[in-house]
């Protein structure tokens, strides 16, 4: 009799279960590997992006630094040259406008090389500005130096002119003095009239004197202006009172910028030769005893003085 063996169910099911676990593990491992790769790739990508951003910021900072340096140097030049910078106002406005444009590009993180190009262009403008303002400075300095030289020369010419004027005035004064006449041998002679005034005697006493006779010689002078001249005589009493007909302008003449009274005047025709003159003062009041002074004038100059005494 044949015996039929039943299959061993437990032994067959165990391998199948192990195979399934292996598959799950493989799948999970693959997923882990994929995720790991994705993580590494994403990390690298993030690192690259961060690095690029940091480099971009560094470049922007460099550009900003260069722009700031240009503007600081530009403003320094403007302050240093003062009013001269006003003559380059158009160029200064261009520099400011270009600087504002670059500043906006840096803030917006525009293309580095585009900003760099504009910055180099701006640098060229500022260098040209410096060159122009330096040229203006040198021209202005040259003009100032020439102006100083001209003023110095003008001052020296003025000094020369002043000296020449003084010399001319001194020469003119010398010529005037040299051409002026002189009166010498001036005498005042008290006289007493006799025979109805036809005869006169020298008198010493004041109470008996009728007139004063003034005699003098007018000098020869070849460089004096010849022609009509007026001779003025002033006779001062011992009390300094001037003997005169009246104290008015008709009996006065100009001397040193003022009007002074005269005692006698006489018109003469001078011919550059010595002349002996006689002039009289007739008594209007009693004479007083003492020393009298006779002064002779012509052409507004005092040309001589003399004294006499009455008892």
Last residue of a domain, one of 124, 153, 179: 179
CA distance 301 to 224: 13
Mean pLDDT of the chain: 79
CA distance 209 to 193: 8
Q: Which helix (H) or strand (E) holds 23?
A: helix 9-81
Interval 106-149: pLDDT, tens: 777 777 777 878 778 878 877 776 777 777 767 777 777 877 88
Of 2-6, 131-135, 140-144, 214-218, which gets the smallest average pLDDT?
2-6
Interval 46-93: pLDDT, tens: 655 556 666 667 777 777 878 787 777 777 766 666 655 555 566 667
**214: which residues sit within 8 A by CB, 6+ positions away?**
186, 187, 188, 189, 233, 235, 264, 278, 279, 280, 281, 294
Domain that holds residue 75: 16-179
- Give the three-state DSSP class for 139: helix
Q: How confident is the model at residue 234 (pLDDT cuts 50, 70, 90)?
A: very high
| Same domain membership, residue 91 and residue 75 | yes
**pLDDT on residue 215:** 95
CA distance 113 to 120: 10
| Same domain membership, residue 172 and residue 187 | no
Give the CATH number of the domain where residue 293 resides.
2.60.40.10
What is the total count of domains within the chain? 2
Residue 6 in any domain: the answer is no
Give CA separation, 269 vs 183, 225, 251, 277, in Å.
Answer: 15, 11, 21, 12
């Amino acid at each position: 009799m044949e015996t039929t063996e039943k299959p061993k169910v437990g032994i067959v099911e165990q391998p199948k279960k192990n195979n399934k676990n292996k598959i799950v593990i493989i799948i999970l491992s693959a997923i882990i590997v994929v995720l790991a790769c994705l993580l590494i790739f994403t990390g690298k990508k993030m690192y690259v992006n961060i690095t690029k951003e940091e480099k971009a910021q560094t470049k922007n900072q460099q550009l900003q630094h260069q722009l700031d340096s240009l503007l600081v140097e530009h403003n320094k030049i403007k302050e240093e040259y003062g009013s001269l910078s006003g003559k380059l106002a158009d160029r200064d406005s261009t520099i400011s406008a270009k600087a504002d444009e670059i500043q906006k590009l840096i803030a917006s993180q525009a293309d580095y090389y585009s900003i760099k190009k504009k910055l180099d262009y701006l640098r060229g403008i500022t260098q040209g500005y410096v060159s122009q303002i330096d040229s203006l400075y040198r021209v202005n300095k040259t003009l100032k130096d020439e102006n100083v030289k001209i003023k110095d020369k003008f001052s020296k010419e003025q000094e020369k002119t002043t000296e020449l004027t003084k010399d001319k005035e001194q020469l003119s004064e010398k010529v005037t003095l040299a051409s002026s006449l002189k009166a010498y041998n001036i005498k005042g002679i008290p006289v007493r009239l006799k025979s109805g005034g036809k005869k006169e005697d020298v008198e010493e006493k004041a109470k008996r004197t009728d007139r004063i006779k003034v005699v003098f010689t007018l000098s020869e002078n070849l460089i004096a202006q010849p022609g009509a001249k007026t001779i003025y005589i002033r006779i001062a009493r011992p009390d300094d009172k001037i003997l005169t007909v009246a104290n008015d302008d008709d009996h006065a003449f100009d001397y040193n910028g003022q009007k002074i009274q005269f005692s006698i005047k006489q018109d003469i025709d001078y011919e550059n030769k010595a002349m002996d003159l006689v002039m009289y003062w007739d008594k209007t009041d009693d004479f007083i005893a003492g020393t009298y002074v006779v002064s002779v004038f012509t052409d507004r100059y005092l040309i001589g003085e003399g004294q006499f005494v009455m008892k």
